[in-house]
Amino acid sequence: MKKAVPSAITKIKARQILDSRGIPTVEVELYTNKGMYRASAPSGTSTGMYEAIEVRDGDKGKYLGRGVSKAVKNINEKISEALIGMDPSLQSQIDQAMMDLDKTENKAEVGANAMLAVSIAACKAGAAEKEVPLYKHIADLSGKDDPVLPVPAITVISGGNHAGNNLAVQEIMIMPVGANNFEEAIQMGSETYFHLKSVIAERCGSNGCNVGDDGGFAPNISSISEGLDLIKEAIHRAGYNGRIKLAIDVGATEFCIGKRYDLDFKIPKKSEQNFKTGEDMIEMYTQLCAAYPIVSIEQPFDKDDWEHTKLLSELGICQVVGDDLLMSNPKRIDRAVQEGTCNALLLKEIIIT
């Protein structure tokens, strides 16, 4: 009986594609002697100063400078040469080989977008090599033997720099914590989303049903409580009272001026009456959590406001997610863990569009 030949990376090919926002990103096809595995690099609408950097072309004559042909070239030449022949199941070694190509702290030479797309494709190839589902392979890499699907956080109202309304916070989300499985959670989220559309049309007019960058509705509201009230009514109409909780991605870095927070930063000719200190923000979050079934608040303070993030986390009123405070930066994550700054390090969102 012949012994199975271990798989190896035989070819890596990258190209430029457009993401869901019409912005260029990197797509990779990674080949082994078992097959081809494709992945693309996700990207948000903003990049924090402590975050690994996407390599973009900067040519304003093409895609307003957002092209990624430089990152594509880095994959097709530098990364490909370094990885061909490697075992795709050795994820840590693959990632380390790519990081060794770029000695800058923020990966500004090769590019985080180039590395991430290849890393994801390699992870898929590694799962295929082990003949296990991708989630099981990732669980094995993480040392977890009992993986659990997360509760999806579904964006339903957009604000901040993601929408053209007056709402300061970036997103208000729903979390179907009462679902029996992930499929049911998505069903509950979808039904609530469309009930919310009807509620907004009734109370704010049809223009309020326009959507922001991430698919959440963007009614012209200015306070968080207005948005939460709209969502509460939608949850009630959908018949999911008690089974769906609420979450907020504040995106507070975008409206932090010095050490104060301007909740009217999108309103022209505003006064300074709605400027809040860190202590004021904690009081506001405490009141919101008491009045609404909020279970998670993401980036409640500025990216460098460790003090108030820790104080809010210590209150234990909800999950506190770091986001811009952490930036997926290992040094900042380590600091957060050591100081107990955040009680949640990561949050992935599912967007209904």
| Active-site amino acid positions | 214, 348
Structure tokens at 278: 């860190």
What is the spatial distance between Cα 23 and Cα 16, in angstroms, rounded to a whole number? 10
Structure tokens at 114: 């180039």
CA distances to 256, 279, 297, 322 from 259, in Å: 7, 11, 19, 18
Secondary structure (3-state) at 251: coil
Neighbour tally for 67: CB within 10 Å: 18
Cβ atoms of 111 and 104 within 8 Å: the answer is: no
What is the spatial distance between Cα 8 and Cα 220, in angstroms, rounded to a whole number? 54
Structure tokens at 343: 């009680």
How far is it between the farthest Cα atoms of the chain? 80
State the Cα angle at 325 between 323 and 329, rounded to 5°: 85
Element (H, E) at 296: strand 294-298
Structure tokens at 39: 């992945």
